[in-house]
Amino acid sequence: MTYIVDTTKENEINLAPATVYEEVIQNLYFLYSSTEYDIPLDRELGLNPKYIDKPIETAKALATTDIYDKTEEYEPRAEIVNIDFKADYESGVLKPIVEVVINDEYDNEEYTE
């Protein structure tokens, strides 16, 4: 089953996710909507801002690479199926919309602390 992580929409934080799926999707949303150097205890968490002020198509390519790298590093339970972007060409805002699947080894596993 695929899940969509859409950073164009607000997402409420759930401090007690009921399933691994909810936890992974929430983690990915936070990862994709954060900027590197903004998280005090983990400065590398979030997307790298190096593509700010680049042409939109160049920014999409750099962001795509960064999304793959950060997903592999911070949330290895997810595999990316597709990456799309919502771009506002006038303001230069680029927001990722990522389709993922959760690795099979985590299917039907309940979240436990």
CATH number of the domain at 78, please.
Answer: 3.10.450.40
Decide if 60 is inside a domain.
yes
Decide if 78 is inside a domain.
yes
- Per-residue pLDDT band for 108 (boundaries 50, 70, 90) equals low
Q: Which residue has the tokens 């996710």?
A: 17
Decide if 112 is inside a domain.
no
**3-state DSSP of the chain:** CEEEEECCCCCCCCCCCCEHHHHHHHHHHHHHHCECCCCCCCCCCCECHHHCCCCHHHHHHHHHHHHHHHHHHHCCCEEEEEEEEEEECCCCEEEEEEEEEECHHHCCCECCC
Decide if 111 is inside a domain.
no
Beta bridge partners of 98: 5, 83
- Per-residue pLDDT band for 75 (boundaries 50, 70, 90) equals very high
- Per-residue pLDDT band for 7 (boundaries 50, 70, 90) equals very high
Decide if 85 is inside a domain.
yes
Q: What is the domain extent for residue 37? A: 2-9+17-106
What is the structure's pLDDT at 113? Answer: 53
Decide if 59 is inside a domain.
yes
- pLDDT by residue (tens digit) across 20-49? 899 999 999 999 999 999 989 989 999 998
Domain count, the chain: 1
What is the structure's pLDDT at 88? Answer: 83
Decide if 113 is inside a domain.
no
